[in-house]
Chain A
Amino acid sequence: MKAWASRRFGGRFWALALKELRQIRGDRRLAMSLVVPPILQILLFGFALDSHVRDLRLGVVDESRTLQSRDLVSAITENQTFRLTGSYHTAEELGAALAAGRLDVGLVVPYDYARERARHRPVTVQVLLNAANANTAQIAQGYIEGAVAWLNQHPRGGLPAGARPSADAGADGQSVTAPVQPRARVEIRPTFLYNPGLVNTWFIVTGIFGTLIILNGSLVSGATMIREKERGTVEQLLMTPASALEVITAKILPLFVLLMGMVGLVLTVARVVFHVPFRGSLLLMLVACACCVLTGIGIGTFLSTFARSANQTQLIGFFVNPPLAMLSGALTPIEAMPRWIQPVTLLNPIAYFASVARAVLVKGAGLDVVYLQLLALAALAFGLVGVSAWRFRRQHS
């Protein structure tokens, strides 16, 4: 085995690798492009992308103008989800504001709201939601219904008893004489595991991480591969006794080392700036990163065997990268995609990496949980590198 290895990857291999390393060292722009864009991107993505639904603009038509109706409004605006931005006189005005995009949610309280509540008759308030964004609408609806349900269970509203003027006791009479009836309820107690504060950045950063590795890995490796082709020096490489596999491996090794350096930087930013918890084994995470880096290099090398010039590689990248990034579950859950497209994500390295990163970093999972994804990632990496070595030899023979 050792003899085979030294025959195969002897001094020749190291000479080639050294040549690549020197070439990269001479290329200031390449080194810069490995450090600046990834850091900038992870900072931008981490800070700017936030799916949290909050500060929705709420407009109210309060036809009742009573303490009870104001209780309702304050119950709804109690948390950060809604922000009261305007009162309107008629539902038409409210509708116009909604259509003009000045409001996200409208609430119409009927004129008999307080009276009906005092008589313990059901009363209906109207909620108008701008449902253009389906996700926001669903979460907003959940919040409003939750707030109203809470109000129903606590008929006195959120205010402590003393805060209410005594004159009001008459209107609310029933609940004063007969304090809350023991009635059947089911309370649902949600507990958020792994991320109890629901910090959205943890989700975004762990998702974007893989996208960064793949994008930058494929860009950089594509650029170095195509350079030999553009300058015609690839003929000289093939004329040496080194085999195509040796040439490719020698090219990949220095890139791999550099990209792992980038991975270290990004991990540091994730930890220091975004406080992503590192609950699992760091070694496992690094193994996953290594597989992902190899896959990125594989993609870049593979694409460069099709292209004739540097800008062609870049353009082909446009065909590959956006779908790869968007269909990965890095930013939007895979389960939310239509059924027919979900199998496609089985070929997507970013999807595997994102689930490994989330499992290891946030959930603290071990190898027994993520081994399948890790295997898939490794298979993709070696498959891509193998195919590009094969294509590399073929296109020049």
Chain B
Amino acid sequence: MRRIIAQARKDLTQLLRDRLALALAVVLPVVLTALLGTTISLTVTDIPLVVQDLDQTPLSRRYIDAYRSSLTFRIVALPIASSPETAIARGRARGALILPEHFEREIRRGRAAQAQLLVDGTDTNTALLVQGAAGQITRAFVQQLPGDAPAPSVRTATRLWFNPGREPRKFYGPGMLVLSLSIFPTVLAALAMSREGEQKTILQVYVSSISAHEYLLGKILAGMVIGMVQCLLVLGLMFTLFGLRLEGDPTPLIVGSVLFLFCVVSFGTWVGGAIPNQAAAVQGVSLGGFLLAFLLSGLIFPIENIPRSLAWISSLVQARYYIVLVRDAFLQGGGWPAVWWAVLMIGVIGVAYYVLAWLAMRRMQVKA
């Protein structure tokens, strides 16, 4: 035990002397989480929309006003003598609303008036949002038409749970916490380990009386201490900048965070041990830590959309489970019954990485 702590202290001292690594450890997680968590969102408001009103009647103008007053759209002027299609092609507008002649007359006669909506389909998600919002506006418009049909017989009362304001940052903030914690502790651990291999200081470890497990645990402990600091800093950000509160039982989050840090630091140590070259090790980590955490964890896009052939990789990515855990702690508050399996999986993957790190270390010793 004493040796483990001594090894951890040595690694921490080494880190404190390296200014770049220290900045990487303390400043960057906070900055990155704050920046990306607040800026990433798929929900576009103020979508520029051009309108071509061929009817020019009070009713058609009222219909257009309904779009103007919605938060989703922003009506931009259609330049004279240009078609709505060119406005979309030039990127001035994401959509075009075209009201035909006799729009008002058709409505007054009780026939279906048809409005055409051209949507820029390049951004598919935004296109769907535009379609949905236009449908909502149209339905609301029809309902307030004077002296018309009875109110629809089925109504929906929608209640938005867990994030009633539909604020994207409450969803992406915890996600970016996970991303930060999957990148930075991992990179630091990989650097610390590969440096020993690169500079051959690992030979000193072999000749000392410290055992492989003690050495690894010491390194991982040091990495976890740094990770803890990062975790607390970023958690502080969750409570302040992102306006989140812990819902329900905080123990799954605490246990899960400790296990997750063990997991990512072991992963970093493994990569660092397997690749005794700092630059290459960082590249390996950025591929494994960043890319996989980013792609296959449900960070931005739903995990259910990953095709089956890739889905099995996703179940090996620790960030996928941690994201479930963090979002549950901050938004849903399901507690242990909802997330016990995620905590368990993080632990299992962590142990697997530890074993891999130990094997890599043994192989290094054979080579040396």
Q: Which residues of chain A come closer than 8 Å to B367, judged between CB atoms?
A: none
Do the beta carbons of B42 and A122 come within 8 Å of each other? Answer: no
Q: Which of A121, A132, A203 contacts B327 (CB 8 A)?
A: A132
Interface size on B, residues (CB 8 A): 112
Do the beta carbons of A41 and B112 come within 8 Å of each other? Answer: no
Do the beta carbons of A99 and B36 come within 8 Å of each other? Answer: no
Do the beta carbons of A336 and B44 come within 8 Å of each other? Answer: yes
Whether A369 contacts B89 in the complex (CB less than 8 A), given A155-B153, A186-B113, A326-B40, comes out as yes
Do the beta carbons of B310 and A129 come within 8 Å of each other? Answer: no
Q: Which of B117, B122, B191, B300 contacts A311 (CB 8 A)?
A: B191
Do the beta carbons of A99 and B301 come within 8 Å of each other? Answer: no
Q: Which residues of chain B come closer than 8 Å to A158, judged between CB atoms?
A: none
Whether A315 contacts B88 in the complex (CB less than 8 A), given A122-B155, A131-B163, A189-B115, comes out as no
Do the beta carbons of A132 and B170 come within 8 Å of each other? Answer: yes
Residue of B nearest to A118 (CB): B153
Residue of A nearest to B59 (CB): A186
Question: In residues 183-226 of chain A, which contact B (Cβ within 8 Å)?
Answer: 183-196, 198-200, 202-203, 206, 219, 223
Nearest CB in chain B: distance from A117 CB, A: 5
Q: Which residues of chain A come closer than 8 Å to B162, judged between CB atoms?
A: 130-132
- Of B142-150, B208-216, B229-237, B345-353, the stretch lying at the interface with chain A is B142-150
Contact with A along B162-181 (1 / 0, CB 8 A): 11101110110000000000
Q: Once bound together, how far apart are the Cα atoms of A132 and B115, in whole Å?
A: 33
Nearest CB in chain B: distance from A82 CB, A: 12
Question: In residues 32-64 of chain A, which contact B (Cβ within 8 Å)?
Answer: 37, 41, 44-45, 47-55
Q: Which of B42, B107, B279, B296 contacts A314 (CB 8 A)?
A: B279
B28 interfacial by beta-carbon distance below 8 Å: yes
Do the beta carbons of B161 and A183 come within 8 Å of each other? Answer: no
Q: Which of A183, A323, A333 contacts B123 (CB 8 A)?
A: A333
- Of B2-10, B219-227, B332-340, the stretch lying at the interface with chain A is B332-340
Q: Which residue, of A116, A191, A316, has the highest number of chain B Cβ atoms within 10 A?
A: A191
Do the beta carbons of B153 and A121 come within 8 Å of each other? Answer: yes
Do the beta carbons of A363 and B89 come within 8 Å of each other? Answer: yes
Do the beta carbons of B163 and A137 come within 8 Å of each other? Answer: yes
- Of A146-154, A159-167, A289-297, A388-396, the stretch lying at the interface with chain B is A146-154
Do the beta carbons of A134 and B153 come within 8 Å of each other? Answer: no
Q: Once bound together, how far apart are the Cα atoms of A17 and B168, in whole Å?
A: 50
Instruction: Say which size band chain A's interface belongs to.
Output: 35 or more
Residue of B nearest to A363 (CB): B89
Whether A120 contacts B163 in the complex (CB less than 8 A), given A49-B295, A51-B125, A188-B135, comes out as no
Nearest CB in chain A: distance from B324 CB, A: 7
Nearest CB in chain B: distance from A108 CB, A: 9
Q: What are 12 A-B residue pairs whose CB atoms fall within 8 Å in the complex?
A: A48-B296, A100-B338, A101-B334, A123-B153, A128-B158, A130-B332, A132-B331, A183-B148, A184-B149, A203-B122, A332-B41, A336-B43
Binding site for B on A (CB under 8 A): 37, 41, 44-45, 47-55, 72, 98-101, 116-117, 120-139, 141-146, 148-149, 151-152, 155, 181-196, 198-200, 202-203, 206, 219, 223, 310-316, 318-319, 322-323, 326-327, 331-333, 335-338, 341, 355, 358-359, 362-363, 365, 369
Binding site for A on B (CB under 8 A): 20-21, 24, 28, 32, 35-36, 38-47, 63, 85, 88-91, 94, 107-108, 110-136, 138-139, 141-142, 145, 148-164, 166-168, 170-171, 183, 187, 191, 278-279, 282-283, 286-287, 290-291, 295-296, 300-302, 304-307, 309-310, 324, 327-328, 331-334, 337-339
